[in-house]
Structure 1
Amino acid sequence: MGDKKEKTYPPADVVERLQRTLPAWRLEDGWIRRTYKTQGWKSTLMVINTVGHLAEAAFHHPDITASYAWVEVRLMNHAAKGITDKDFELAAKIEEVVGWQPGKDGGALTGPPDDPRFAYIKYDR
């Protein structure tokens, strides 16, 4: 926690970087944002807890809004009053963990069966 202000990025640079590295994220009202669609309340809570764990481990905390079947994560560095590398790095980690789809990487973990009783996240891809 030093006195040195972190570098913030101008909106055009933020948009370009998001398009290049985090295409499901968008810049809106000074925040980078991502909405995750879930299959219901249990999945919504699991996403919130996952994001909370990652944020606490990183000591960089997003704003979160949620409803029954979605979670919106918003990142902006409050101290720097803009988007910094911390925001991009935490967004990438959230995307990696929440968007992980076992079975697509050829490992032993297969993910939930194709049965609505076990539905979890509505994956974008």
Structure 2
Amino acid sequence: MTTTPSNPLANQVCEACHADAPKVSDEELKELMALIPDWVPQVRDNVMMLEREYKFKNYKLAWAFANKVSELAESEFHHPSILLEWGKVTVTWWTHSIGGLHKNDFICAAKSDKLTD
């Protein structure tokens, strides 16, 4: 797994986000994606999301990671979709209230990557 140890996003905190908060612009998307190269932007039901699949040696390690992501989500009060499978966890971040991507999603993606260190 490729992580960026000095990723500045991982040191930031999510801000409160409301339905009128701006989605990231195309330019911001390009800049922010460069900071989280293992993540893939996905569009589902016309909603842009960030997704990454993490691989593990077994179910127990995947489960432990999924729990860490859940704890991160609660601490940031920003909640992803987490799919737990044998040896694999897929994490999908997006901002429900704006129906797309906010900087918070990139912050949480970077923080998720740090959980594998």
TM-score of Structure 1 vs Structure 2, range by shorter chain: 0.7 to 0.9
Question: What TM-score comes out, normalization by structure 2 length?
Answer: 0.75
- Partner residue of 2:20? 5
Q: Stretches of 4+ moved more than 3 A in 1?
A: 1-4, 10-13
- How far off its partner does 1:44 sit? 0.9
- Partner residue of 1:22? 36
Answer yes or no: is the 8 Å Cα contact 1:15–1:27 preserved in 2: no
The CA deviation string for residues 89-119 of structure 1, in whole angstroms up to 9 with x for no partner, is: 1111111122x1xxxxxxxxxxxxxxxxxxx
Residues 40 and 59 of structure 1: CA distance in aligned 2, closer, same or farther (over 3 Å): same
**1:42 maps onto 2:42 in alignment:** no
Answer yes or no: is the 8 Å Cα contact 1:15–1:26 preserved in 2: no
Letter in 2 for 1:22: I
Take 2:38 and 2:84, find their aligned partners in 1: how far apart are those partners? 17
Query: How many residues of Structure 1 are paired with residues of Structure 2 in the alignment?
Result: 98
Structure 2 residues not aligned, in runs of 5+: 1-15
Q: Secondary structure at the residue paired with 1:57?
A: helix
Higher radius of gyration, 1 or 2: 1
Take 2:87 and 2:106, find their aligned partners in 1: how far apart are those partners? 25
Residues 2 and 37 of structure 1: CA distance in aligned 2, closer, same or farther (over 3 Å): closer
- How far off its partner does 1:65 sit? 1.1
Letter in 2 for 1:40: N
Take 1:40 and 1:31, find their aligned partners in 2: how far apart are those partners? 27
Q: Secondary structure at the residue paired with 1:82?
A: coil
Q: Secondary structure at the residue paired with 1:48?
A: helix
Higher normalized contact order (CA 8 Å, seq sep 6+, divided by chain length) = 2
Task: Compute the RMSD of aligned alpha carbons.
Answer: 1.9
